[in-house]
Amino acid sequence: MKLRAVTFDFGWTLAELDTVMLAGRLVEIGAVSGGAAEVEALAGRLDAGGADAVRAYSMAIKAGHGGHPWKLLMTHLLGGAGVTAGEVARAVDFLWQQQPTRNLWRRPVPGMIELVQELRGCGVPVGVISNSEGHLAELARELGWLQLFDAFADSGKLGMEKPGREIFEWTAERLGVKVAETVHVGDAWAADVEGALGAGAHAVWFGGDAEAEGRVVPERVRVCRDAPAVRRVLVGWGVIEG
């Protein structure tokens, strides 16, 4: 079956965690102290801990923790970056309350929005499927991205979430294609890859490391480190021309 549409996860796929913003917010509430140099150093540690936090998130999804375990991910990330245990819980609660209006996932992943624009220019239907807090469309509008997508599946609004097949089916219907005609690109193995496969779609594991995690990569999955690699896969699968 020809692959005709592409969907993307949002966090750590289209937009990275803005670690400088996060570090600044931690200073703002007194969870950590210091000036510009300390904020920069903390941001670096947060960047370095992103992959481990994503693995913790993926394990939580695999274990059946629904409701988008944002706090678990953030707790793991802040603790790994050296925020003291006594401050982590308070900081995570504050950041969660602020997330609807001060979303931290807003730093563009290099090349990915440009890839979305190319897909749209080629007439390929494009959507977002994200386990989020219900305000993702507002963030996309703030970033100037909303008009790039034909469908926006935000679990916080829809009441369904990855890896459940329903959210993939809902999105495919709005893109005017069958789920089996879609490629889903995302960073979380359990939510994105297993979710897409379970729904009948192809998947790109973005930023994954199959060898390090001992994963056997199924036939309908490709592992990509960056936007050019994703583009090559889409060309290879016939979604766009080379």
pTM of the model: 0.90
Which of 103, 118, 149 is the last residue in one of the domains? Answer: 103
Residue 242, domain member (yes or no): no
What confidence score (pLDDT) does residue 66 get?
58
Amino acid residing at 193: V
Q: Are residues 58 and 141 in the same domain?
A: no
User: How many of the other CB atoms lie within 10 Å of CB of 149?
Assistant: 21
Q: Are residues 228 and 126 in the same domain?
A: yes
Helix and strand element counts for the chain (H, E): 12, 8
Q: Are residues 146 and 201 in the same domain?
A: yes
What confidence score (pLDDT) does residue 207 get?
93
Q: Are residues 136 and 185 in the same domain?
A: yes
What confidence score (pLDDT) does residue 68 get?
57
Q: Are residues 196 and 97 in the same domain?
A: no
Tell me the pLDDT tens digit for each residue of 5-33. 999 999 999 999 999 999 999 999 999 98
In whole angstroms, what is the distance from residue 44 CA to residue 65 CA?
A: 29
Which of 45, 71, 103 is the last residue in one of the domains? Answer: 103
CATH number at 224 reads 3.40.50.1000
Compute φ and ψ for 18, nearest 5 degrees: -80, 90
Tell me the pLDDT tens digit for each residue of 51-74. 888 788 778 777 776 555 788 889
> Partners of 105 in the beta sheet?
17
Q: Are residues 220 and 113 in the same domain?
A: yes
Amino acid residing at 183: V
**Contact status, residue 193 vs residue 186, Cβ threshold 8 Å:** yes
What confidence score (pLDDT) does residue 53 get?
84
**Contact status, residue 206 vs residue 187, Cβ threshold 8 Å:** yes
Report, as ranges of residue numbers, the positions in the chain whose pLDDT lies below 50. Answer: none
Structural domain boundaries enclosing 221? 5-14+108-236
In whole angstroms, what is the distance from residue 196 CA to residue 173 CA?
A: 15
